Amino acid sequence: MKQNLTILSILIVILSLCLLFLLDEDESDRYGAVELEVFCAAGLRKPVQAVALQYEAEYGVKVHLNYGGSGQLYGSIKLRGGDLYIPADWSYIDSGVSEGVIAESVPLSYLTAGMVVQQGNPRGVRDLQDLKRSDVKVAIAVQSAAVGRFTHEVLADVRVLKRIESNRLSKFPTVNEVAAQVKLGAVDVGIIWNGLMSQYDELEFIRVPEFDAQPKLAAVGVISSGEQRARSLHFAHYLAARDKGGMIFQMYGYEMKEGFYWKEMNYQH
């Protein structure tokens, strides 16, 4: 009888330890995945890269980042899938939801386009009409980039695009390359997101009313075909949380509006 009680006690202890282990499981066990495949708009590269490194250090989850124009990346995830998509314009999220490509989404940061020139503005560029001048070389992103699509639309609306497309306009795959061309002096003016300015001390940002009137909302979407949906959503919330990714976005100069989503959300593990 004593032997049976001893065996029973041992079994109870073992069972209790097992239950305790299950209750105290770590984040990787709860959410799965040790790797995430993320497709990120090039204009958001710096803050997202910094957040990904911090997330990896905290949770041991490797975040593989692929960069490019928002439209180019959208085409890639439709073909090959992935876990997360971070475009620089909410319209891509809307398209993804309507087409069944995106399951859930979280807003990240507002982006406003503007003209960028070298410090001192040597060409004296003041507004979009100045881009038509014969002494001004202009660079913009291609239409597969969010800022490029927006730039083409606005320049066409103000009747500037056709005037500069013939010989004074250069186009590049990403907003980062546009900024680099201005920095190198290969062009006089580029059109980029305001969030990139923290990376270019040697450049000067010129606000434009036509762009200010239409700020864009960057966001992160969980890809429907991804096999790590719980982990993906966990990282998406981490990116947006005010005490996690939100702090890093703000540090890099990305615009967080008063009352914006991340300000209201306390991140929970």
- Whole-angstrom distance, CA of residue 269 vs CA of residue 257: 25
Look up residue 205 and give its two tokens.
Answer: 């940002």
pLDDT per residue, tens digit, the chain (269 aa), is 545 444 544 443 344 334 333 433 454 556 556 799 999 999 999 999 999 999 999 999 999 999 999 999 999 999 999 999 999 999 999 999 999 999 999 999 999 999 999 999 999 999 999 999 999 999 999 999 999 999 999 999 999 999 998 778 999 999 999 999 999 999 999 999 999 999 999 999 999 999 999 999 999 999 999 999 999 999 999 999 988 999 999 999 997 654 444 434 444 44
Contact by Cβ (8 Å): 112, 257: no
**Is the backbone of residue 179 left (phi > 0), alpha (psi -120 to 50) or beta?**
alpha
Rounded CA separation 221/74 (Å): 11
- 217's CB contacts (< 8 A; 6+ apart) are 89, 90, 107, 108, 109, 110, 111
Task: Return the CATH number of 113-212, one of 3.40.190.10, 3.40.50.1100, 3.30.9.10, 3.20.20.10.
Answer: 3.40.190.10
Do the beta carbons of residue 83 and residue 38 sit within 8 Å?
yes
CATH class of the structural domain 32-111+216-264: alpha beta
Query: CA–CA separation, 61 vs 52, rounded Å?
Result: 9
Cβ(173)–Cβ(72) below 8 Å: yes
CATH 3.40.190.10 positions along the chain are 32-111+216-264, 113-212
Q: What is the DSSP letter of 255?
A: B
**Coil vs helix vs strand at 86:** strand
Q: At what angle do helices 45-59 and 229-240 cross, to 10 degrees?
A: 120
